[in-house]
Amino acid sequence: MSEWWTYRLTSFLLFSPRTYYRLLELYNLAIWPAQLAGAVIGLAIIALLIWKRGHRDRIIAGLLSACWLWIAWAFHYQRYAQINWAAPWFAAAFAFEALLLVVVGVLASRLVLQPASGGKLWIATSLVAISVLGYPLLAPLTGRPWTTAETFGVAADPTVIASIAALALVRGRIRWLLLTVPLLWCAVAAATLWAMYAPEALVVVAAVLLALWPAVQGTRRGAPDAVR
């Protein structure tokens, strides 16, 4: 790309905000009632974070993996690719993350959520809860119809924010491998929303910074798990 410094974020926006939200609306109408299944999965993850049960971490990894795979196929590849030629790459990245969660979390059992302190666990659980129960409210709060609401499990942004919140608790450096795709997506999503002058951009950035706090704290303090 020559003279790259002359490009602005809006230079890369291929569609109008109206088209983007209409895409969300048509997607929501087409997949209904899958949103309810997504909400149930989200509530299950919250419950597992609060009340630790056997195989908790493997179940969380499996549930998150299912959500990422669904979004890769049903949203990015089937829908978003209609208006964004980069979306097949997003689909591949989401499918890779789903695979990673299965391999690391379900098969190898390397995804171990720390027996986190109260504060870290509280932040992570709260952010997952906000992603599941609060993020859909952004639609009416920003003047959009309910039909354009983005819900956990089927829409990318709330699912990725909740994933980052949960994966930030993972013990060891493997957490950064698991967080790579989610963080890259958040950068893409925030840039897209910013180019659309959508206030959700700030929500995504703020949520990610908050969600990362437990992970960054773990690394900075040189906790034993951080060098594993």
Partner 1 sequence: MLGALALTPCRSKIGAMGPEEPAMWSRRRALRTLAAAGACAALRPATALAQPRAILTRPIPSTGEALPVVGLGSWVTFNVGDDPIARDACTDVMRNFIETGGRMIDSSPMYGSSQEVIGYGLRKAVLTERIFSADKVWISSGAQGREQIERSRQKWQVGRFDLVQVHNLLNWQEHLPTLFAMKGSGQVRYVGITTSEGRRLRDMEQLMRSQAVDFVQVTYNPLDREVEERILPLARDRGIAVIVNRPFREGALLRALARQSLPPWAADIDCTSWAQFVLKFIVSHPAVTCAIPATTSVAHVRENMNAAYGRLPDEALRQRMIAAVERT
Q: Which residues bind partner 1 (CB under 8 A)?
A: 2-3, 6, 10-11, 13-16, 18-19, 22-23, 26, 79, 82-85
Q: How far is the CB of 40 from partner 1 (least distance, A)?
A: 29
Residue type, 164: I
Q: How far is the CB of 8 from partner 1 (least distance, A)?
A: 9
Closest C-alpha among 218, 226, 220 to residue 124: 218
Contacts of the segment 74-78: beta carbons below 8 A, 24+ positions apart: 74/27, 74/31, 74/34, 74/154, 75/27, 75/154, 75/155, 75/156, 76/156
Q: How far is the CB of 9 from partner 1 (least distance, A)?
A: 12
* Residue number, 21 or 185, with CB nearest to partner 1: 21
**What is the sign, positive or negative, of the torsion defined by CA atoms of 160, 161, 167, 173?**
positive
Q: How far is the CB of 95 from partner 1 (least distance, A)?
A: 21
Bond preceding residue 136 cis, omega within 30 of 0: no
* Residue number, 130 or 149, with CB nearest to partner 1: 149
* Residue number, 23 or 132, with CB nearest to partner 1: 23
* Residue number, 91 or 129, with CB nearest to partner 1: 91
